[in-house]
């Protein structure tokens, strides 16, 4: 098993153990439920004051056309996606701003 495959397996195991259900609402298309690991209370450098969070998930779980400006609902909280960063093993980190 190569490095990327090993990291991909680790990503999947972490999401299965620590992930929670979220609703991803793309600006175009139907919402989807998927698993993600949420980190709240993060301070994002160079950003205006606000409440930010980072969400980790598998890129393949997102609907086609997912991108910046989409909404993410986690429990009673709603966030907007303003940054996306992928890794070589299929993981995706979304930077979110609470609405």
Is the pLDDT at 79 greater than 90? The verdict is: yes
Q: Confidence band (pLDDT; 50, 70, 90) for 7?
A: confident
CA of residue 72 relative to chain centroid, distance: 8
Is the pLDDT at 89 greater than 90? The verdict is: no
> How confident is the model at residue 47, as a pLDDT?
62
Are 61 and 75 contacting, i.e. CB atoms less than 8 angstroms apart? no
Average pLDDT, the chain: 88
94 burial level (CB within 10 Å; 0-12, 13-18, 19+): buried
What is the mean pLDDT of the segment spanning 14-42?
92
What domains appear along the chain, each with residue ranges and CATH number?
3-98 (2.40.10)
**Four-point Cα dihedral 9, 60, 75, 73, nearest 10:** 150
């Amino acid at each position: 098993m190569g490095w990327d495959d090993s990291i991909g397996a680790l990503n999947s195991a972490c999401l299965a153990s620590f992930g929670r259900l979220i609703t991803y609402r793309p600006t175009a298309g139907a919402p989807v439920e998927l698993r993600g690991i949420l980190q709240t209370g993060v301070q994002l450098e160079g950003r205006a004051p606000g409440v930010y969070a980072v969400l980790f998930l598998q890129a393949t779980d997102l609907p086609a056309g997912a991108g910046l400006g989409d909404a993410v609902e986690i429990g009673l909280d709603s966030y907007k996606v303003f940054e996306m960063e992928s890794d070589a093993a299929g993981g995706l980190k979304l930077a979110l701003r609470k609405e």
